Amino acid sequence: MDFSLGHRSISRFLAASLLVSALASAATAQQPPIANMPGPLREVGFEQKLGATVPSGLSFVDSEGRAVLLDDYFDDKPVVLALVYYECPMLCSMVLNGLVSSLDILTFDASKDFEVVVVSFDPDETPELARVKRQEIVDRYDRPGTEAGFHFLTGNPPEIATLTKAVGFSYKYDEDKDQFAHAAGITILTPGRTVSRYLFGIEYAPKDLRLALVESAEGSVGGMVDQLLLYCYAYDPATGSYGAATMNILRIAGLFTVGSILGFILLSRRRDRRRERAHKEDFAQS
């Protein structure tokens, strides 16, 4: 794979990286101490269970309403597992869109080189919801012949609980708000159903995702990574509530990004002036 980038691509990549970094930093800054968090957020997160194995025999229902086994998606390829719920009002769609954006940069193809398995942890969701979301993501990926690599599932509480526990994903339903509190991220599994690596947040660096897929395909288990978790049940210190913080995070991220890009441009211009001056001096001396 050719990772060479032109000047314009570097600028775009820098801007995207700064946005993600600012988003993560802002999210961390927005989170209150555990003691001040509402009940649901105290019980959610990702425990990194590297080397753990997802049990065999777990049954789910696919987006066409057919009974399937999770084992059906594990053969000789790694699996990208995303735990979401299809009617999530906040981060779940961003997790899936971020995953597709990263996969789109790679030369690897879904179905041929890896499988994407998306499982709803809301037992009340239906195959129809899974079908609609799957079509949305397949259209976004837009690589003909790769549709068979995307699997969107629903299931019953026992199987959902077994799967989420196996990969260390915890979540909590809040009846008052009628939504789930959960963290954002994806899990990479080896062809043998072993947890190989975690990627957290809503955007995943293509080089990290590529490495995770390569390692998983070889049956290797990666190392622990720092957790900068984004919660789908976020706290807003300005209002003391847990609903609108995502917009605040995006505003702060935007300010960071604009400032950082301006700084990068200024530094680049200064560097260019110094080089121009140096060339003139060299020319004068010769």
Instruction: Kindly list the averaged pLDDT for each block of 10 residues, start to end, along the chain of length 286.
Output: 40 44 43 48 80 97 97 96 93 93 96 97 98 97 96 98 96 85 92 95 91 91 57 44 44 54 68 67 60
Q: How far apart are CA 149 and CA 113, in angstroms?
A: 9
Query: Which pLDDT does position 217 carry in this prediction?
Result: 93
Query: Which pLDDT does position 101 carry in this prediction?
Result: 95
Angle subtended at Cα 187 by Cα 230 and Cα 257, rounded to the nearest 5 degrees? 35
Q: How far apart are CA 150 and CA 73, in angstroms?
A: 10
Query: 262 has which bridge partners?
Result: none
Q: In this structure, which topology does domain 35-233 adopt according to CATH?
A: Glutaredoxin (3.40.30)
Query: Which pLDDT does position 31 carry in this prediction?
Result: 45
Is residue 63 a contact partner of residue 131, using CB atoms and an 8 Å limit? Answer: yes
- Kindly give the interhelix angle for 206-217 and 91-105, rounded to the nearest 10 degrees: 80
The reply to whether the predicted model has a pTM over 0.75 is: no
Query: Which pLDDT does position 222 carry in this prediction?
Result: 66
Residue range(s) of every CATH 3.40.30.10 domain in the chain: 35-233
Query: Which pLDDT does position 224 carry in this prediction?
Result: 60
Query: Which pLDDT does position 78 carry in this prediction?
Result: 97
